[in-house]
Structure 1
Amino acid sequence: MKDLNDLYKSFEIGIRSTKATKPQEYLKSIGLDYTDLRIGFNSGQFHHREKQEVKDHYQSLGLLTPSDAAVRTDEMTAYTVFGRYGLVFPLMNRENVVVNYFALRFELATPTEHYLNRLGLYPSYPNQNTKRLFIVPTVMDAASLLQSKALDHREAVLALYDGKLLPQHEKAIAALSDLEEIIIIKR
């Protein structure tokens, strides 16, 4: 069964689909390039045509929540899908494995942002040789800074979790033995 890392690969393929014109256009409108950054698209259909065992697995990961929505037969269960029809950004653990998703549901009247859980860092744990670290309030701010190509090889960026510094941020920062400067960017 797919874990978050494996499923994310399918989201990265999904953003490249010829049918994914709306997410591609949205990214272009905000100045982000899915060919340059790790950005996926969740159409909300990853569980379709899967056995119940797989759906249960996705439910245990927090990706599916049973819903009361009407379905064709009593034998089927409707689900609410995490980040349905949204852009998905991966949060990584220290081993560079996807352990969390940040989803931006851009098609809603008011775009909404959600995290799947409280694990991992975006875009990843900083390289051990980082000298200057930029800390930004959101995943979107970090993606914009990465897209700008303004960072040199000894600089890194970390997105706060919903504007908050979590223990994993503190541990990652404390592990940077060459760190000389932290720059906090506020909105």
Structure 2
Amino acid sequence: MKDLDKLFESFETGIRSAKAQKPKEYLESIGLDYTTLRIGFNSGQFHHKISQAVKDHYEALGLLKKSTAAIRKSNMTAYTVFGKYALVFPLMDKNNQIVNYYALRFNMVTPQQDYLNTEGLYPCYPNVNTKRLFITPTLLDAASLVQSKALDQREAVLALHEGELFTQHEGAITALNELEEIIIINY
């Protein structure tokens, strides 16, 4: 979905913004580095100053939902935004295109996590020549492992969707022709 790829680029720009101090501080507190991982920040304003047709498209993708919140002008529509004020991680399809987002709303008493949909894998589909596959219960665990640079060229990691193994995980694993070992990280 090219739309999700393009939008994610704006989230990556958002995390690099001087105004994004809180997201950067949170990432530092959990030991993740946005300069080495693909992490974005959704301030919740990506739908401002775009055409209604694009808003309708984002609504169809689940990124926007019409809201009954008060608005300044009567000819405007209020929206609830997926992953508002959240760190955003991309999930990929077999073609390395973004098909899903994982949003971590960190600025709450209890951080909230949500997926846009059930598609895609994080960090990506493993290379077919993978010999050792690490499976983590969460996306953040997989991000930590990727960032550690502990994996060699024939090793890969897959994050479950908050502990759940989906059909696309199974398909990715069975496509690994040279797989010798699966290591399930559990805690």
* Superposition TM-score, scaled by structure 2 size: 0.98
**1:117 aligned partner:** 117
- The residue aligned with 2:157 is 157
> 2:34 matched to 1:34?
yes
Whole-angstrom distance in 1 between the partners of 2:11 and 2:157: 23
Aligned letter for 1:133?
Answer: L
In the TM superposition, what are the counterparts of 1:2-151 in structure 2 within 5 Å? 3-151=3-151
Q: Provide, for residues 134-154 of structure 1, a one-character-per-residue CA deviation record: whole Å limited to 9, x for no partner.
A: 000010000011111111111
For 1:153 and 1:51, how far apart are their aligned partners in 2?
44
**Structure 1 residue 108: Cα displacement:** 1.1
Structure 1, unaligned stretches of length 5 or more? none
Matches of 1:108 and 1:65, distance apart in 2 = 21
| 1:77 CA drift (Å) | 1.0
- Letter matched to residue 57 of structure 1: H
Distance in 2, Cα, partners of 1:149 & 1:15? 22
How big is each residue's C-alpha offset from its partner over 1:4-33, in whole Å with a ceiling of 9 and x where there is no partner? Answer: 111011111111111111101110111100
Identity level (%): 69
- 1:58-107 superposed Cα distances (whole Å, 9 cap, x missing partner): 10110001111100122111111000000000000000000000000000
Q: Which amino acid aligns with 2:135?
A: I
Partners of 1:49 and 1:23 lie apart in 2 by 24
- Which 5+ residue runs of structure 2 have no aligned equivalent? none
**What is the TM-score with the length of structure 1 in the denominator?**
0.98
Opposite residue 40 of structure 1, the aligned amino acid is G
Q: C-alpha root-mean-square deviation of aligned residues, in Å?
A: 1.1
